[in-house]
Homo-oligomer: A and B are copies of this chain.
Amino acid sequence: MRRVTIVCPAGGIGGARFISGLLRHLARANRQDEVIVIANTADDIRILGLQVCPDLDTLMYTLGGGISKERGWGREGETWQVKDELQSYEFGPTWFGLGDRDLATHLVRTSMLDAGFTLTEVTHALCQRWNPGVTLLPMSDDRVETHVVVEDDQGRRAIHFQEWWIRHRAALPALSFPIIGIETSRPTAQVLTAIAEANVILLPPSNPVVSIGTIMSVPGMREALASATAPVVGVSPIIGGKPVRGMADACLSAIDVATTAAGVAEHYGPRTAGGLLDAWLIDETDAAAQAEITALGIRTVVQPTLMIDDDAAANLAAAALDTAESLR
């Protein structure tokens, strides 16, 4: 079998599980394909002078075997001495989970960024330790940050996405998601090359707004995808009208997209009409929507999409890959 290049734009937890499943599938099929992950970096936040990249780290830790399986983010066997001390000093945000082990990653990253390395170079260096089995690329080396405009009894204001997501658990209604710095950001050369040379592009069931949506908002990214020769196959993050994990519904409703498999498919749009998707995998629960989505011009595959365990994730990735390969 020819070795192919599989490119996955991805957010954090959902993306990491899907790509973990993909690697499992490739290993059990004895395939040697290359997997390149383009990670969302707009969730990044500078806390106490440290540059924290939640999606990059979730991908790196998950694929490198260091993730906390219980939480789905941060490090296995984590300790919280620094966080406790910061609370004793009454300094810094208390809502952000800054673990001791995790903090070392941020120290290395920040030191390297301050020394002039790009985030792409830093991520490569960090991955020397983790060996995630993929090439992990930040979507951009430029600083980009998603903020959230909220309104409550304190009035209308913009807060950092992490503050909205973690501190408020996305419960404060979001009015919009301004992405600070997005206009002047660019995809990296490595990202553009990966997309151009991809044989297959898979969109994991990541958040359609603040993960995949943000990656696609980097100027030049959509154009790169439009001119790519690889088929693009996405997996619906919505099953039965609810996000599988996370709070994608709160994001979708802010941009007036229905929290349904069909709603997200329509939002992404068919590739033939300038959208993202050649094909869309939806869960059996949503089989009734197949005709509606197909009518949009998107090939629709019904498949169990819930990644209840490693094998389920591998089967889902296999189905996405098979669909893509049938389209090549």
Interface residues of A (CB under 8 A from B): 48-50, 79, 81-82, 85-86, 88-92, 100-101, 103-105, 107-108, 110-111, 114, 126, 129
Contact = CB atoms under 8 A, between A and B. Distances in A.
Given A79-B100, A81-B81, 19 more contacts: A48-B110, A48-B111, A49-B107, A49-B110, A49-B111, A49-B114, A79-B79, A79-B81, A81-B100, A82-B100, A82-B101, A82-B103, A85-B101, A86-B104, A88-B104, A89-B104, A91-B108, A91-B111, A92-B108
Contacts of A107: 48-50, 82, 86, 92
Given A49-B49, A100-B100, A111 B82 contact: no
A80 to B, nearest CB: 9
B126 A104 contact: no
Contact of A111 (B92, B104, B111, B129): B92
A89 B126 contact: yes
Contacts of A101: 81-82, 85
Q: Name which of A50, A100, A103, A108 has the most chain B CB atoms within 10 A of its CB.
A: A100
Contact of A105 (B85, B90, B100): B85
A306 to B, nearest CB: 34
A111 B93 CA distance: 12
Q: Which residue among A82, A103, A111 has the maximum number of chain B CB atoms within 10 Å of its CB?
A: A82
